[in-house]
Amino acid sequence: MTKIGLEIHCQLTKLRSKLFCNCRANYRGLPPNSNICPVCAGLPGSLPVLNKRAVEKAAMIALALGCEIPERVSFFRKNYFYPDLPKNFQITQYNAYGPTSIGSEGNVEIEGKVIRMRRIQLEEDPGRLVYEGSSEKTQLTLVDYNRAGTPLVELVTEPDFENPRQVRIFLNVLADLVENLGVSDPYLDGAMRVDGNVSVEGGNRVEIKNVGSFKDIEKALNFEITRQQSLVDRKIPVIAETRHWDEARKITVSARSKEEEQDYRYLPESDIPVIIVSREKIENLRKQMPESLAEKKDRYIKKLGIPAQVAEVLSSDKFYSDLFDKTHTESNAREVANLITTDLMGVADTREKKSELKIDNKAISDLADAIVGNKLTRNSGKIALLELVKTGKSFSEVISTLDLSNVSDIATLEKIIGEVFKEEEKAVIEANTNPDAVNYIVGRVMRKTKGKADPSVTLEIIKKMISIK
């Protein structure tokens, strides 16, 4: 039996300042050690001042995951030495004396399985180690403290995962959740880091530290399960330790023996007073929270008639669900959803590609109206959509430029079909007994009209002209 638990570190990237000082929370792209002050550099005599908005955003994550928020929230010092931790302790939260972290006992359901959340805590991010040099002998380890003090939410699960695939699904759900809440951008480099704790029956728990991508944590866990099972099968003890994922070699490597809670010598943080969280404050936070992914999906299905599978895809991507909400009308909602999930997501599936889109909400809505009104075929609609988001032009400009107007006149269609009949006499003869021959004729008409003919209308005319019942 395999048991897997996670510790996810999620930066609160939608804040102006760090957790305990006024330095910028967004440290990315700045020169090394230019975004620091006496507080985040851990200089003697400096005092932390808690960022109120960070507490609120962490509480919103806890509420979204169904966690209990205690009336008294407090901070502790977690003592350990590491080069990127200038104070030699990290200000975090700790539940040894009762639930005093920002949240506890929540849950997330994935594919019918409930994953329990042990706790959610707010803490400061350490600095960052930068390695320079081409080999181990010449490599230098540099420290950049720009990240030190950045607001971080640590989410700790119970060991409820049975396999690495469930882990990847869970992380995708969690990333969608925090992005939808507007508290974090999980796809920024280093904004969401994962530690995996894994054990197989007959072995000790092993921790895999700070894996940067969801694909890599799945690979790391798969490797580690195989490694541990091999040791157990050969009656070799599995040592409780911390291991790192070597991305180049696709293996985990031993880093150090595993620390236990007592090794960190937790102490109450005397420089930060206990925070009293009233029930009224919690209810106000609930009102500020956006529509949840589940509520959004339910609205798409029940109010707009969008198929469940399409609604799930659409609601899980904040960029595209926001686009949908700004674009659709009651009459074209299903077609807008199809255009986004079938066509647009296929060509703009990364952050970089999304940022390059030139989107005119009215143009996309007009395009969907044209398809619904049979003024444009679905195939022509796809061509028009890609031109719309590439150029930012209006719908009428794109249709005029590409000459995509639908061939809907019955007489015109009958003439074109008659031409195809003369060119494809063998297929016409076979059409009464061979459905593939009929489909072939439809395809030839679509080619002749450059995709402008409505396939269903074309099929009906062909059947009528050949007298197929």
pTM: 0.81
Helix, strand and coil percent figures for the chain, each rounded to 5: 40, 20, 40
Mean pLDDT of 375-380: 79
Query: How far lies 120's CA from each of 24, 62, 133, 261, 338, in Å?
Result: 24, 7, 38, 16, 37
Q: How far apart are the first and last CA of the chain?
A: 60
Q: What pLDDT sits at residue 12?
A: 96
At residue 411 the predicted structure's pLDDT band, cuts being 50, 70 and 90, is low
Mean pLDDT value of segment 402-421: 68
Instruction: Give the model confidence (pLDDT) of 198-254 as tens digits.
Output: 999 988 999 998 787 899 999 999 999 999 999 999 999 999 999 999 888 899 999
> What's residue 268's pLDDT?
93
Neighbours of 283 (CB within 10 A): 10
Map residue 213 onto helix, strand or coil: coil
pLDDT in tens, 284-307: 999 999 998 889 999 999 999 999
CB 347 within 8 A of CB 353: yes
Average confidence (pLDDT) over 55-61: 96
Per-residue pLDDT at 379: 79
**Residue 125: band (very low, low, confident or very high) from pLDDT cuts 50, 70, 90:** very high
Statement: residue 451 has pLDDT above 80: no
Mean local confidence (pLDDT), 142-163: 95
Q: Are 212 and 9 in contact (CB under 8 A)?
A: no
Say yes or no to pLDDT of 404 above 70: no
* Cα–Cα distance for residue pair 469/466, rounded to 1 Å: 9
* pLDDT above 50 for 88: yes
Q: State yes or no: pLDDT of 413 exceeds 90.
A: no
pLDDT at 337: 95
Q: Which has the closest alpha carbon to 168: 201, 206, 194?
A: 194
> Taking 60 as the threshold, does the pLDDT of residue 469 lie above it?
no
Given pLDDT bands bounded at 50, 70 and 90, which one contains residue 65? very high
Q: What are the tens digits of pLDDT across the range 318-367?
A: 899 999 999 999 999 999 999 999 999 988 887 788 888 998 899 999 99
Residue 18 CB neighbours (<10 A): 29
- The residue with greater pLDDT, 431 or 62, is 62
Q: Which of 90-94, 159-163, 359-363 has the lowest mean pLDDT?
A: 359-363
Q: What is the pLDDT of the chain when averaged over all its residues?
A: 88
Q: What whole-number percentage of the chain has pLDDT above 90?
A: 59
Tell me: pLDDT of 162 over 80: yes
With H, G, I as helix, E, B as strand and everything else as coil, classify residue 199: strand
Q: Could you tell me the residue ranges of all domains in the chain?
A: 2-282, 291-402, 410-466
Which CATH architecture best describes the domain 410-466?
A: Orthogonal Bundle (1.10)
Cα–Cα distances in Å, from 207 out to 89, 168, 259?
A: 21, 17, 10
